[in-house]
Every structure is written in structure tokens, then in C-alpha cells.
Amino acid sequence: MFVRNVYIEKHKVTCCPSTLTAIKALELLKETNYRCIPVVDTETNEYKGQVYKVDLLEYLFENGGKPEDSVMNVVDEVDSFLHKDSSLSLALLTIDRLPFLAVTGENREFQGIITHSVLMDLFRDGFGMKTGGYCFTVAIYEQTGALLKLMKLLKSFNIEGAHTFGNGNELFRRLTFTISEENEDVIDKLKEKIIKAGFRVLHIERIETNKNIANAFRE
């Protein structure tokens, strides 16, 4: 999946024009109640970086900055952007402590942002939080064909989401998957099949829609 599939388009984003003064930029942040917004060149639409409310406050009231000074004096994280055709894995590796990454075209023209919340929503989708069902966590021992063997046991179920954890572990990794099944007897039988096939079921939990989790039980 690519950044272009999930980013927030620029017409939905509050931006700070590069021509604003420091005090006007601070007023904009106070009005919108954001702690940080993207700064965009007024003429070229080029992404210039991020401006933080805390940095503006320090600049104006602690460091001797003047209200009429350019907001560009306070711009930070000038390289906090990704091309819209970048992969989501690159976004995850890059965003780290930043509130968002700008999404740009070929020449840094601003097209929108991708946020932590967008990435978290995608992560939640992998647990079937929107559709509900039963979420299994299974230990898969590192051997050729192990994942295919497990998938064959699930061929009659609708898999709503899946994640793998423990990449790089030489012994085993954990696979979580959510299936849209309501019958507990069916779930119990599937659990037994998985165990008999040589896997270890670490955890099963009932995922309710509206992000409520109930009826958790362990092996």
C-alpha cells in the first residue's frame, strides 16, 4: 500500500502560509487548537516545514522575537515529507516523533499530510476492529511452509485482518488474524485444529464492533 491511498488531502488540512508573521501564525494555531501545522509557500505551493505553537511562544516571549518577524524564522522539520508514491512502511519508519508527515509531488508541492492517527487506523484494521469477530494470536515456528500450512486451515473463513510480529526472531514469530465468525463452537474446533497441526494458540479474543473487546480467554 502507498501513501497516496490514505493521506489527508490538502483542502482538509489547516496550513500556515509562508507570508504570515510570527504573531499571525500563533493566532492561527490558537484558533485551530493544533500544536503544529504545515507551512506552505504562498506562491509555489512548496512545502516549507512545520511550525509548532510552543516554538512560536518561545520565540516571541522568551527569545526576543518580534511579532512582525516572518514565521519562516521559526519553521522546523523542513525535510518532514514523503512523496505520495512512497510506501506506508517508509511512512512508519519516518514519522516517529513527528505529529505528521507532509505528502508532496515531484517538486515538493504540498498535497496533504499523513498522521499518526491515520497509521493507527490502518493498524486497527489489521485486528478487524471495524467488522468484529474472533482474533487469534498463534505462534508460528520458523520453518519452510509453516505459514502456508496454517493458511490452509483458514481457507473456509473470511479473514478480516492480519499482522505478524517478531520479524527477525530465529525461533518463531506471532501471527494475529481476525475471522468474521460468531459461533463459539466453530472457534473452539478451529483452535483444536490449529493445535493439532503443530502450532501454539497463544490467545483468542472476541472483537466487538465499535472497538469494544470482550470475552478474552487464553489457552
Which CATH architecture describes the domain 127-218? 2-Layer Sandwich (3.30)
Closest Cα partner for 161 from 178, 140, 138, 180?
178
pLDDT of 210 strictly over 50: yes
Cell digits for 42?
504562498
pTM: 0.74
pLDDT of 64 strictly over 90: yes
pLDDT interval class at 166 (50, 70, 90):
confident
pLDDT of residue 213: 43
Please report, for the chain, the start and end positions of each structural domain, with discontinuous segments joined by +: 3-121, 127-218
pLDDT of 218 strictly over 60: no
Q: What topology is assigned to 3-121 in CATH?
A: CBS-domain (3.10.580)
List of residues 6+ apart from 209 with CB closer than 8 A: 129, 130, 131, 132
The 10s digit of each residue's pLDDT in 88-124 is 889 988 998 899 999 999 999 999 999 998 888 887 8
Q: Which helix (H) or strand (E) holds 102?
A: strand 100-104
